[in-house]
């Protein structure tokens, strides 16, 4: 399956996503807690896919996706957002996100989104 990087400032959310994706047969190659780490880890690990939280300290998910897509145009990014962040989700999609998943995570929705983006 895929090598996935998970970036979210909430450890609980990273653990939840990691559990869902590992059960679905994917390998978690790294975790980060802000957009700056997302860009650094993407360069270092070059994962098949990255999940990025939109709202994070230091560097937002929106800024991180712009930097990742600028450097790696073929990167596959799925944004994660809480309910009520539709405007940010639209900006994320316009910035190059392939899909988005809403918190709290629904395991089947997460796996469907990952599978669809990896095709």
SS (H, E, C) the chain: CCEEEEECCCHHHHHHHHHHHHHCCCEEEEEECCHHHHHHHHHHHCCCEEEEECCCCCCCHHHHHHHHHHHCCCCCEEEEEECCCHHHHHHHHHCCCCEEEEECCCHHHHHHHHHHHHC
Our count of domains for the chain comes to: 1
pTM over 0.85: yes
Written as tens digits, the pLDDT of the chain (119 aa) is 899 999 999 999 999 999 999 999 999 999 999 999 999 999 999 999 999 999 999 999 999 999 999 999 999 999 998 866 678 888 989 999 999 998 899 999 999 999 999 98
Range of the domain at 87: 3-118
Task: State the CATH number of the domain containing residue 44.
Answer: 3.40.50.2300
């Amino acid at each position: 399956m895929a090598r996935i990087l998970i970036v979210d400032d909430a450890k609980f959310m990273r653990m939840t996503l990691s559990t869902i994706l590992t059960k679905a047969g994917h390998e978690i190659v790294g975790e980060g807690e802000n957009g700056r780490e997302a860009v650094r880890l993407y360069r270092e690990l070059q994962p098949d896919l990255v999940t990025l939280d939109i709202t994070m300290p230091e560097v937002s998910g929106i800024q991180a996706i712009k930097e990742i897509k600028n450097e790696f145009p073929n990167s596959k990014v799925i944004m994660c957002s809480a309910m009520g962040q539709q405007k940010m989700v639209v900006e994320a999609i316009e910035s190059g996100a392939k899909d988005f998943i809403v918190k709290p995570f629904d395991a089947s929705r997460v796996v469907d989104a990952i599978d669809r983006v990896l095709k």
